[in-house]
Amino acid sequence: MSLNHVRPWKNIYRRTSRQIMVGNVPVGGDAPIAVQTMTNTDTADVAATVAQVQAAAEAGADIVRVSAPDAAATTALREIVRESPVPIVADIHFHYKRAIEAAEAGAACLRINPGNIGDEKRVKEVIRAAKDHGCSIRIGVNAGSLERHLLEQYGEPCPDAMVASALEHIRILEDNDFREYKVSVKASDVFLTAAAYQALADATDCPLHLGVTEAGGLVSGTIKSAIGLGNLLWMGIGDTIRVSLSADPVEEVKVGYEILKSLGLRHRGVNIISCPSCARQGFDVIKTVEALEKRLEHVKTPMSLSIIGCVVNGPGEALMTDVGFTGGGAGAGMVYLAGKQSHKMTNDQMIDHIVEQVEKKAAEIEAAEAASAEAAE
């Protein structure tokens, strides 16, 4: 059994929301928090888009969104949906007919921005298409594209204006007997984003899609997203997340999982606990961790690994991880298994040995889970 378990003092009590389906992925309720990303290819290029979708899915994406700006994109969408291993969300801006075409092409969800899709009559036509083709809808409110009348009323993008926009469009959906929807209220400002989501969480029981929009590059965007999304998730708010980075969509998925793993909300793959290294290190910690991150990408089983350079914190961290290595002296260190000292290993053989131990532990965890599932049937 993995040592990567939730302790009582680490519990996060999630906001109670109703559940919807995005294709075969449940969102909200007691479902795991779904991780999303978005392709950045030309959607009309089916091969390139499908390749990016598949790469994101392999990294752990539960749902992938693709932009549908024109008829060429919605025509390509049919084949993309057919070849995708995960549900596809069609991102719609400006032209409501693209939403209808996307629904007809098999999109699992339609993401519409209320501020720029048109009047209520057009939104009703999109709702009808979603009903006819079994799509859910995401109401995507962005601080940068609020409706003109709300900007005039509130003077600038603010939490109240964003929530008002969301509630207006929730009313339209519900007046048309449509409840398979989730909502986002995104901004590039962390404070504005967090305040809007907190207010919306109090105003509705629908699932919430979290995101800090246009967060930035890989490093700056990761930090901004970790602060914004992390605080909301820690408060129990959020049913699905998308980390918006000016980077490869696979990186968005990885960061999303790291945020969830850091809060104990979802686990996938090896959680590496490592020190920043210092003059006490018994081996090159930084290069070792870089190598292990690459070598262990194929391991999807949730488990923990500690890589600590010296005996100051190494033994203590190893007590709480499935596999651990603590640097010693004379070119060797100590291997820990299930929190206990196991055997010494030389530094030059350590990386290969740790990979072997992690793979072995992952197989044991998977076998135990399979046996437990079989016994429960």
Extents of the domains making up the chain = 8-262, 270-376
d(CA 113, CA 140) in angstroms, rounded, equals: 5
d(CA 130, CA 136) in angstroms, rounded, equals: 7
CATH code, 8-262: 3.20.20.20
Residue 158 CA to its chain's centroid (Å): 25
Its CATH architecture, for the domain 270-376, is 2-Layer Sandwich (3.30)
- So what's the pLDDT on residue 196? 97
- So what's the pLDDT on residue 1? 37
d(CA 135, CA 130) in angstroms, rounded, equals: 5
Would you call 338 helix, strand, or coil by DSSP?
A: coil
- So what's the pLDDT on residue 373? 85
327: which DSSP letter? E
At 254-284, the pLDDT tens digits run: 999 999 999 999 989 999 999 999 999 999 9
- Known binding residue 275? Answer is yes
29-33: which pairs have CB atoms within 8 A and are 24 or more residues apart?
A: 29/207, 31/239, 32/266, 33/233, 33/238, 33/239, 33/240, 33/241, 33/260, 33/265, 33/266
Nearest by Cα to 358 from 309, 297, 308, 316: 297
* 208 close to 236: Cβ distance less than 8 angstroms: no
- So what's the pLDDT on residue 4? 44
- So what's the pLDDT on residue 114? 61
- Known binding residue 278? Answer is yes
d(CA 185, CA 199) in angstroms, rounded, equals: 10
- So what's the pLDDT on residue 119? 78
- So what's the pLDDT on residue 329? 82
Angle of helix 347-376 relative to helix 285-295, nearest 10 degrees, comes to 40
Provide block-wise average pLDDT over 10 residues at a time, the chain (377 residues).
52 93 97 97 97 97 96 97 98 90 97 75 90 96 90 95 94 93 96 97 98 94 96 97 96 96 92 93 96 95 95 91 92 94 95 97 93 83
